[in-house]
Amino acid sequence: MEKEMPELLKIDFECPACKKSEISNKKIPVLRIIQKLDECFKTNDLNSAKKLLEYWREEALSIGDLQGELSLVNEMLGLYRRTGENALAEKAIVRALELLSLLDMENTVSGATILINAATTSKAIGKAEDAISLYEKAEGVYRETLGDDDSRMAALYNNFATTLTDTGDYERAEKLYKRAIEITSVEIERLPDCAVSYVNLAHMYEKAKGREEPMIYECMERAEEILETQELERNALLAFVSEKCAPSFDYFGYFLFAEKLRKQAREIYAGN
């Protein structure tokens, strides 16, 4: 690299095993970039994460590394979703779909996973119909390649159901949420995702049947029980889920537990 690189963006390019540069053959060091990105997420440093991804995407573009660029654009989808930068998110969606086509990856598992990420981001920026089309395409690929109990199916069902709720297709959404819960409830490491599905299902019941629907509070109490599980690892996933679910607990009147979740997220981020 000829230009001076800010300290934040510096990556150790040398492969310890082979003592050769990892940016040979016109490839950016994706694995090392993702490792550094994870460090940013562990402390909730989204500004540094953004700088890191945008810098290295430009490097990928400059050397024509389409696969490397796709990996970073996929990460950008989630980041811009979290930061609420809708214009940047929309551009990332368009570019991700272009790259999937150029690389002939649309019918692969990894390609379908990127489609789900793009769909989730489409929903987040108010393009629910686009999201449904992307989810349906990803579901077709997953069904052909994965077992029905695969955790990736659960993530698809949960996110797809959220979009269906927005469009008023409550019956289909309920079925998908319940299927996601079935898959994630059997593995301790997936329980935070299970809690998210219960919270989302509670919101769906409110939209479909009104605030007095008893199933709302059954779902929220089940989510609370899961997030109180002592065996849960206090990691970045639990912090993210705690932060994500807290507003819903506030909304449905579980004020003390909502504050407990916020405190838990702060402590986990500070500890990392």
pLDDT given at position 18: 37
pLDDT in tens, 147-201: 888 989 999 999 999 999 999 999 999 999 999 999 999 999 999 999 999 999 9
**pLDDT given at position 20:** 40
User: Residue 42's Cα: distance from chain center in Å?
Assistant: 14
Q: Does position 213 have pLDDT exceeding 60, yes or no?
A: yes
Per the model's pLDDT, the better-predicted residue between 221 and 21 turns out to be 221
pLDDT of the residue at 16: 38
Q: What is the mean pLDDT of residues 87-103?
A: 97
pLDDT at position 9 is: 58
Cα–chain-centroid distance for residue 225?
23
- Report whether pLDDT(119) > 70: yes
Q: State residue 148's pLDDT score.
A: 82
Average pLDDT rounded to a whole number, residues 132-151? 92
What's the chain's average pLDDT?
91
Does the pLDDT value for residue 17 go beyond 70? no
Q: How confident is the model at residue 10 (pLDDT cuts 50, 70, 90)?
A: low
pLDDT at 227 over 90: yes
Residue 22, pLDDT above cutoff 80: no
d(CA 87, CA 26): 29
Please give the radius of gyration of the chain, using alpha carbons only, rounded to the nearest integer.
20
From CA 57, how far away is CA 49, in angstroms rounded?
Answer: 12
Q: What is the DSSP letter of 4?
A: P
Confidence of residue 141 (pLDDT cuts 50, 70, 90): very high
**Which pLDDT score is estimated for 104?**
96
Task: Take residue 144 and report the two structure tokens written for it.
Answer: 């052909």
Q: What is the pLDDT of residue 42?
A: 85
The amino acid present at 81, given as its one-letter code, is R
One-letter amino acid at 114 equals: I
pLDDT score of 244 more than 70: yes
What are the structure tokens assigned to 35, written together? 């490792």
Helices (H) and strands (E) in the chain, counts: 12, 0
- Residue-wise pLDDT for 74-83, tens only, equals 999 999 999 9
Instruction: Summarize the confidence of residues 95-114 as an average pLDDT.
Output: 96
Cβ pair 33, 56 in contact under 8 A: yes
What pLDDT digit, counting tens, does each position of 26-72 carry? 899 999 999 999 999 888 899 999 999 999 999 999 999 999 999 99
Residue 8 has pLDDT above 90, yes or no: no
